Chains A and B, each alone.
Chain A
Amino acid sequence: MLQTISLLLENKPGALLRVTGLLSARGYNIESLTVAKTLDSELSRMTIVVDVEERLRIQVIKQMNKLVNVLQATDLTDASAVIREMVLLRVRCTQDSRTSILKEAEIFHARVVDSSVEGFAIEATGEPEKLDEFIDVMGSYGETEITRSGAAAMSLESKKLRLQPPVPAPALAPAI
Chain B
Amino acid sequence: MQNESGKLMTGAEILLECLSREGVDCFFGYPGGVTLPFYDALYDHHIRHILVRHEENAVFMAEGYARSTGKVGVCCATSGPGATNLITGLVDALMDSIPLVAITGQVHSKLIGSDAFQEADTFGITRPATKHNFMVKSVKELPQIVHEAFYIAASGRPGPVLIDIPKDVFQERGHYVPVDTIHLPGYKVFTEGHAGQIRRAAQLIWEAERPFVYAGGGIVLGNASAELTELVERGDFPAVCTLMGLGGLSSSHPNFISMPGMHGSYAANMGMTDCDLLIALGTRFDDRVTGQLSAFAKHARVIHVDIDPAEIGKNRTPDIPIVGDVKYVLQKLNKVMQELEPEFGQKKAEARRKWWSQIRAWKEEHPYDRSHDTDQIKPQHLMDEIDRLSGGQAIVASDVGQHQMWAAQLIRFNEPRLWINSGGLGAMGFGLPAAIGAQMARPDKLVFAICGDGGFQMAIPEFATVVNQGLPIKIIVMNNGCLGMIRQWQELFYNNRLSSCDMRSGFPDAEKLAAAYGFKGRTIDQPWQLASALEEAINEPGPYFLNVKVTPTENVYPMVPAGGAINEMVLGPVQPVTV
Contacts and interface: CB of A to CB of B under 8 A. Distances in A.
Interface of A: 9-10, 13-14, 17-18, 21, 25, 58-59, 62-63, 65-72, 162-164, 166-174, 176
Given A164-B185, A164-B189, A170-B22, A14 B135 contact: yes
A6 B438 CA distance: 44
Interface string B178-213: 111111111111000000000000000000000000
A171 B147 CA distance: 11
Contacts of B133: 14
B384 interface: no
B537 interface: no
Given A169-B181, A174-B23, A59 B310 contact: yes
**Max chain B Cβ within 10 angstroms of own Cβ: one of A169, A172, A176:** A169
B21 A173 contact: yes
Nearest to A65: B188
B309 interface: yes
Nearest to A56: B314
Contact of A169 (B131, B179, B313): B179
Contacts, number: 81
Interface string B1-35: 00000000000000001001111000000000000
Contacts of A167: 151, 181-183
Interface string B335-367: 000000000000000000000000000000000
A51 B189 CA distance: 29
Contact of B188 (A17, A59, A164, A173): A164
5 contacts: A14-B133, A70-B186, A167-B181, A169-B181, A173-B17
B187 A164 contact: yes
B127 A21 contact: yes
Contacts of B131: 68
A66 to B, nearest CB: 6
Nearest to B147: A169
Contacts of A25: 128
A75 B258 CA distance: 41
B123 interface: yes
Nearest to B16: A173
A68 to B, nearest CB: 5
B186 A10 contact: yes
A57 B22 CA distance: 38
A83 B374 CA distance: 76
Contacts of A66: 188, 308-310
Contacts of A166: 181-183
A59 B46 CA distance: 45
B529 to A, nearest CB: 46
Contacts of B127: 14, 17-18, 21
A172 B20 CA distance: 9
Contacts of B576: none
Contact of A68 (B17, B152, B314): B152
B46 A176 contact: yes
Nearest to A61: B310
B22 to A, nearest CB: 6
B113 interface: no
Contacts of B180: 168-169
Contacts of B314: 59
Contacts of A14: 123, 127, 133, 135
A170 B186 contact: no
Interface string B131-159: 11101000000000001001110000000
A55 B43 CA distance: 55
B43 to A, nearest CB: 16
A170 B23 contact: yes
B132 A172 contact: no
B124 interface: yes
Given A25-B128, A68-B152, A169-B147, A62 B309 contact: yes
A168 B150 CA distance: 12
Q: Across chains A and B, which 4 residue pairs bring their CB atoms closest together, nearest first? A: A62-B310, A166-B183, A71-B186, A173-B20
A163 B189 CA distance: 10
Contacts of B185: 10, 71, 163-164
Contacts of A72: 186
A19 to B, nearest CB: 11
Contacts of A176: 46
A172 B17 CA distance: 10
A166 B180 CA distance: 10
B182 A169 contact: yes
A172 B185 CA distance: 24
B411 to A, nearest CB: 35
A13 B109 CA distance: 15
Contacts of B178: 169
Given A25-B128, A62-B309, A173-B17, A68 B22 contact: no
A30 B557 CA distance: 45
A106 to B, nearest CB: 44
Nearest to B161: A68
A91 B187 CA distance: 48
B363 to A, nearest CB: 37
Nearest to B17: A173
B70 to A, nearest CB: 16
A162 B20 CA distance: 32
A21 B128 contact: yes
A70 B132 CA distance: 12
Given A59-B314, A68-B184, A164-B184, 9 more contacts: A13-B135, A14-B135, A17-B124, A69-B186, A168-B182, A169-B21, A170-B22, A170-B150, A173-B20
**Max chain A Cβ within 10 angstroms of own Cβ: one of B183, B186, B188:** B186
